[in-house]
Amino acid sequence: MRELAETARQWVAEGRVAFLARPVTEQGFGPRDPAGALLVDVRGECVGALYRGVFDAELVAEAAALGGGAGAEGARVCELSVGAGEAVEARLTCGGQAEVLLQPLAAIPAEWWELLGTGAGVALVTRLNEDADRAESRVVRADGTAGDDAERRAGELLGTRRPGRDALYGGSGLVLVEAYPSAPHVVIGGAGELAEVIAAQAALLGWEAVAVESAAEAEKVLSAHRDAACLVLLSHEPDFDVPALRTALALGIPYVGALGSRRTTARRREGLLAAGVREAELARVHGPIGLDLGAKTPAETALAICAEILGVLGGREAQGLRDSDGPLR
């Protein structure tokens, strides 16, 4: 969705009749991009990515059918499906069904595109009437105060630090909640090969990453990215690791982890207690860092660390999928 912001603003400025398409409900397809969305105009131009383009032609046809009569109020929910053979051809993991909302671009608040373009954490709450032919959207900021159920759900989704959508059903119709938190900003305390592969793994996940080499530099970066920052401390220097950890805890950074042996972890613990950090706060430090994946190499260690960050940000306790009975999401 974020990559559409510039094009959306340009199309609105041109007065182009166009629509924003994104899923309301979906089943199947296998792993998919929770931020997937598509801009489509009545002339057939498409910008964005939704189900690897398998529905683009159908959405173009729907957009053309709505055509010039689509003002800021018109909308349509399209029921779409793809079979196993088509899924293979489109390089999808498997077939599936989706209800996709086509909403006039003119109905999307300009503030939405502005905030997405800056990388800010923000959510869009779209209320559809009973006939799903009218959709009204409003922006919910990450730092805003929650009011109704939709805004509270938006806050919960933003809190996971990962893009997400949810459909809420009520007496007045359906409400689509779409959340786009700021991308996790991994602050790596220290340098070397492990720092490099952690940064590479973070980039693969669409996260930001920066290496710092002093406690003062760590404080500066953590403060600048307070809501999205994750501290991965590699340094074993007491004048670096203890102050950096103390700063991260004081700022309420979502993820705080420190590499080191159990002996080093104990030394840091004593240093933090001596620096005035409360016992309860120490439980927020993940040290030794990372999930127990049997990692040996720098690349494996980076994977274990980033996997732990992902789980913590999503509020999940790591376990094998075969050991759980909940939905795969």
CATH assignment of the domain containing 250: 3.40.50.720
Q: Which residue has the tokens 């980039």?
A: 203
As a whole number of angstroms, the distance between CA 256 and CA 45 comes to: 44
Same domain, 139 and 274: no
- Residue 321 in any domain: the answer is no
Verify that 270 and 229 share a domain, yes or no.
Answer: yes
Tens place of pLDDT for every residue, the chain, 329 residues? 989 999 999 999 999 999 999 999 888 887 777 888 999 998 899 999 888 888 888 899 988 888 754 455 578 899 988 888 777 777 778 888 889 999 999 999 999 999 999 888 899 999 988 776 788 999 998 776 667 889 999 988 888 778 889 999 876 678 999 999 988 999 999 999 999 999 999 999 989 999 999 999 999 999 998 888 999 999 999 999 999 999 999 999 989 999 988 899 999 999 999 999 999 999 999 988 999 898 899 999 999 999 999 999 888 777 654 555 655 45
> From CA 142, how far away is CA 154, in angstroms rounded?
8
- Number of domains observed in the structure of the chain: 2
Pairing of strands 173-180, 164-170: antiparallel
Residue 164 sits in the same domain as residue 192: no
172 with 191, same domain: the answer is no
- Summarised one tens digit per residue, pLDDT across range 76-107 is 899 988 888 777 777 778 888 889 999 999 99
Q: Does residue 325 fall inside a structural domain?
A: no
Determine the pLDDT at residue 272.
96
- The verdict on 99 and 227 lying in the same domain is no
Distance CA 29, CA 87 (A): 8
Last residue of a domain, one of 116, 148, 180: 180
**d(C-alpha 151, C-alpha 186), whole Å:** 28
pLDDT at res. 276: 94
Residue 327 lies in a domain: no
Whether 157 maps to a domain, the answer reads yes
Domain boundary among 163, 180, 197: 180
| 240 and 302 co-located in one domain | yes
Supply the pLDDT for residue 321. 43
Q: Quick one: 119 and 36 in the same domain? A: yes
Query: Is the residue at 189 inside a domain?
Result: yes
In this predicted structure, what is the pLDDT of residue 240?
A: 96
pLDDT at site 20: 96
Same domain, 160 and 196: no
User: Are residues 286 and 141 part of one domain?
Assistant: no
**Dmax over Cα atoms in the chain, in whole Å?**
70
Examine the domain organization and report whether 89 and 203 are in the same domain.
no
Full residue range of the structural domain in which residue 67 is found = 2-180
Tell me 67's DSSP state.
Answer: G
Domain boundary (147, 162, 180) is at: 180
Angle (CA) 192-198-200 rounded to 5° is 105
Question: Does residue 318 belong to any structural domain of this protein?
Answer: no
b/e per residue, 289-313, with b = 16+ CB within 10 A?
bbbeeebeeeeebbbbbbbbbbebb
Residue 175 shares a structural domain with residue 191: no
26, 148: one domain: yes
* Residue 90 included in any domain: yes
Residue 285 maps to a domain: yes
